[in-house]
Amino acid sequence: MGRHYFTCRPGKAIFIPVASLRRAPRMPQPTILPNSGRQAAISPDIALQVQQYQQSKGLPLEDAVREAGKEIVILQETGKNVGGGSYGGVIEVQVQGRKCAAKKLHETFTGRDVPRRDRAAMVERFENECRRVIYLSHPNIVEMIGIHFDRATRLPTLVMELMNVSLYQHLENNPKPSSVPLSTKYSILRDVASGLLYLHSLPPPLGPIIHRDLTAKNILLNLGSKVVAKIADLGQAKTDPVYATRRQMLSMSPGNQLHMPPEARVEDPVYNASLDVFSFGVVVLHTLTHEWPDPDKGSSGGRQKKASS
């Protein structure tokens, strides 16, 4: 299956390359004409995926096609776990022979013991991440490949490019600061800064976007002759409050407390781009020292002392 959006009209299907849409802040409005007496020129697998999406959302077919007007993919699981994210585990899958990473919602959020309203809210948050990421196009943001809807659960799975390792894992695998060249660390941090600048500079209504959970665990690396770093896991990301409504800003508390500035730990905080800048500073210290930030150990001459030396 090619990389496309689709819009169905009597007698033919029009395929629009995703690349031509990613820079547009607004999504096109695909339509399918009811009672046309003609079958849409899309594969049965994709038609089934759209049908499952329609049933899970309780939408008319036209609205379901419009809502699911993103790239829907058919995948094959390999059974290999490759990490985790804000909402669930990440496994390795294959899409048309290409190895990819697929982020699934954790059953903690979607199990039968979870109230239906809470389950629906979590699925909606996850789908919002999918909608957000599909428009992003930057060499230092992990690329989204598509969306897969599970046949049994009807839950969405976010399919992304597969990276070699997280920055956190890379630092853990090389515990001595001297084991990773300073030039490589500089290149990694520059890539992260470039990705953040892209997110913060996006015009409305798509952006600006605040990541809110930037840590070494959410920075992925492709290792080779030149190490490339990409920002991942936008599950906590939010539109900048300057452009966001109050409803958009009401959400779960953002990520790791050790990466948050003091002003973000108060009751009813306001998040803006400075939150990511502070987190980036913590990532810089982590990358230079190979030590996970831990203020509690600073008084005993532990990691914080090492980070500040």
Residues carrying an active site annotation: 213
H, E, C per residue of 237-294: CEECCCCCCHHHHCCCCCCCHHHCCHHHCCCCCCCCHHHHHHHHHHHHHHHHHCCCCC
Q: In angstroms, rounded to a whole number, what is the distance separating the alpha carbons of residues 103 and 84?
A: 8
Q: Under 8 Å CB-to-CB from 265, ≥6 apart: which residues?
A: 257
Classify 227 as helix, strand or coil.
coil
Distances (CA, A) of 86 to 5, 150, 219, 252: 27, 19, 13, 11
- Cα-to-chain-centroid distance, residue 238: 12
Point out which residues pair with 123 in neighbouring strands.
Answer: none
Q: Is 57 annotated as a binding residue?
A: no
Q: Which residues are annotated as a binding site?
A: 104
Q: Which residues are annotated as a binding site for ATP?
A: 104
